[in-house]
Amino acid sequence: MTNETSPNFILFITDQHRADYLGCYGHPVVNTPHIDSIASRGTAFDKFYVASPVCMPNRASLMTGRMPSVHGVRSNGIPLSRDAVTFVDLLRDAGYATALVGKSHLQNFTGRPPYTKPPAPRPGYRAPSPAHAQAFRTTLVGPEYLNEVPQYWEAPDAAVATPFYGYSHVELVTGHGDDVGGDYKRWLRKKAPEALKLLGPQNALPHDYACPQAYRTAIPEELYSTAYIGERAAAYLARQKADTPFFITVSFPDPHHPFNPPGKYWDMYQPSQFPMPEAFTRNDWVPPPHVQASIDARSDGSANLRGMRTVACTAKEAQEACALTAGMITCVDDAIGGVLNALKASGLADNTVLIFTTDHGDHLGDHRLLLKGAEHYQSIVHVPFIWSDPQGTTTARRTDALGSTMDIPATVLDRAKLAPYAGMQGLSLLPAIDGNATMQDAVLIQYEHQMSAPGQGSGRVHTVLDGRWRLSIFDGVDFGELYDLTNDPGEFDNLWGEPAHAATRARLTEEIARLEISYVDKVPLPTHQA
């Protein structure tokens, strides 16, 4: 196999980065010239959505091309089975050099026990033995699922055993903020051992921000994990040869909270540059129950401001979060610029497809919220997807074709002329990239959390989007959401209970049912007729 017929691929992915926080997606303040340069010679999707608006489920869908309910990573805290076949496995089988530099999060980060516990048996009943406590005889807790927990990296010779979900070469960054682990910390220990004393919020520099989880890291930008990822990805590209195609994922943990852009990026943007979110300026909006619950929790002091789930915020905190997020994004953009320069220096740019996406968004003050959760507003479910192929369009194109994170594997395999495996549910988006084809009429989003929350029922929410409408159904509560994204792009007017929109609600409810049926797993394939 040669690169004459097999293109190279670089997949850039950022973490908790909403679609509208890029220059090429219309943001008037955030400076992203290098990501914008990819869009300037490729196709940008304006209606691209996640399979799930949290890290682990959506990243597992990115790797498998399958819905969370099918690949099994329904929520954070469930590692992707090592028995799952990924599209990177197929590339590797076909002779590609495959590499991951940066964040994986296909396995658990914390090492802490889960919130979810098996139900206790009724009085007088014998509990199943541990081997039979679940419907499958796998507990996903063997040593092969510990590659990303902090304890794994305490050994001085720790390394990710490869192949790792199809990747033959892995340089890992685990966690968020500046005190992250994996191969990054070993690099930092070797490059600047004194910098280890600068890590974490306990060593933060003074600042006057009030935003939850904002701290000014003492680590300079050249030693921050974003710089490490850019440097190591560039080094990998410098080693590649024209006679072996490559696929590399360059995965940044930022701009995920905590809000801590390093060095010059901390005050590169000012909160005053970002308008007060609309929810703080209008008096006619009645927050839906699950949003009101977050607002109430912040008011009564019960909100977990140090956690990962949605919290309510003030307008000032929202503007601060926007400014700090913008700093992290520009920091990432500069690192991507270095990777693009390395690609050009390698002489392989003319046969390398560039892809940019993110794993989900952040509310950043929209609807008076920060972070992400069961609220399927555009701020967390709508993400960028940019595809730049040197053998395709060389000018900027935009498409309204619907796409999903789980369509990325089929699209890459299609471009590489590799057939997908049985059970892949995503569609190739090449027809939409090459023209104006519509591949699907609606996309499905699945969300689940280990714990329920007020107004959210069981913590499980499914959503359908058809380009104009967004309908969300919550398990365990009668409440639902229906928004007209054309006439109400801010999603303030919930039409769920409006008689005038009953037909639309019914049609989209049927659409969810049809999509759920279509995504019932088709593997394993039958072994006989019967």
Evaluate whether the domain defined by 8-116+138-437 bears CATH number 3.30.420.40. Answer: no
**What confidence tens digit (pLDDT) does each residue in 457-495 have?**
888 999 999 999 999 999 999 999 999 999 999 999 999
**What confidence tens digit (pLDDT) does each residue in 186-201 have?**
999 999 999 999 999 9
> Is it true that the peptide bond before 258 is cis, omega within 30 degrees of 0?
yes
Q: Is residue 270 predicted with pLDDT exceeding 90?
A: yes
**What confidence tens digit (pLDDT) does each residue in 26-56 have?**
999 999 999 999 999 999 999 999 999 999 9
pTM score of the predicted model = 0.97
Name the phi and psi angles at 405, rounded to 5: -50, -40
CA gap 257, 27 in Å, rounded: 20
Task: Give mean pLDDT, residues 142-166.
Answer: 94
The per-residue pLDDT for 68 is 98
Structure tokens at 343: 């690609």
- The residue written with tokens 């400076």 in the block is 31
Structure tokens at 210: 């009030």
CA gap 275, 318 in Å, rounded: 9
Q: By CB neighbour count within 10 A (0-12 exposed, 13-18 middle, 19+ buried), where does 195 fall? A: middle
What is the domain partition of the chain in residue ranges? 8-116+138-437
Q: Is residue 1 predicted with pLDDT exceeding 80?
A: no
Task: Give mean pLDDT, residues 390-412.
Answer: 94
Split at pLDDT 50, 70, 90, the class of 70 is: very high
